[in-house]
Amino acid sequence: MRLKVLSATLLLMTSMQIQSADKEGRFAVKGAGVTNCKSYHQEWQADSKVFFAYAGWMEGYLTATNQYLTETYDIVPWQNTKLLAALVANHCEKHPDLPFLTAVRSMVQSLQPSRLQESSVLVMAQSETKGIRIYREVLRQLQQRLKELKLYQGEIDGIYGDGTRAAVTEFQKSKNIEVNGLPDQATLLTLLQ
């Protein structure tokens, strides 16, 4: 009986969280989300302290998206805040009157198809001098894409071994990306987007 009551309570709480707007779909926006794209773009260009408030707000929005969007573990499984901030700034430059919230929401919607739907182990992708933490599932996607490009011949196993590193290096050379043998932001953006 206690299990049924607990299950019903959890179901009710979940449905209440999903319906977190009023009956017309409206909700209160807080913090940096109330500003417009013009303000964001100016602060981003200046790399100001205010920009970091925007970046923090965006990270909070992404965390909430991870929590509330169904079948989502990480909406941005390989994109770092610096890259996301630049993507939003590019959008905001073209649409200065757009609310900042709308720009971030548009970015999230565009990234939804490439989200990580299930938890994945973080592993280290190492070069001779550096390492990058990356989800094993993202490494599998990287390996699959490199295989499609005929740059990788190994197993799709999510392990960053010599074969994967060599394929990443060849890809970087072919795209005039900094050659470091790592699945860095520029490499992943070019390869997976």
pLDDT number for residue 165: 97
In this predicted structure, the answer to whether residue 23 has a pLDDT above a threshold of 50 is yes
Distance CA 91, CA 46 (A): 17
What predicted TM-score, i.e. pTM, was given to this entire model? 0.82
Residue 20 has a pLDDT of: 63
Give CA–CA dist 20/4, Å, rounded.
Answer: 25
Q: pLDDT value at position 181?
A: 96
pLDDT at 27: 76
Whole-number pLDDT of residue 159: 97
State yes or no: pLDDT of 8 exceeds 80. no
Q: Please check the confidence at residue 129 and state whether its pLDDT lies above 70.
A: yes
For tokens 């390996």, what's the residue? Answer: 143
Percent of the chain at pLDDT > 70 equals 90
* Confidence check: pLDDT of 36 > 70: yes
So what's the pLDDT on residue 25? 78
Full DSSP string of 104-137 = HHHHHHHHGGG-B-S---EEEEE-SS-EEEEEHH
- Ranking 23-27, 129-133, 168-172 by mean pLDDT, the lowest is 23-27
* Mean pLDDT across 81-94: 97
Mean pLDDT of the chain: 89
The contacts of residue 16 (CB under 8 Å, 6+ apart) are none
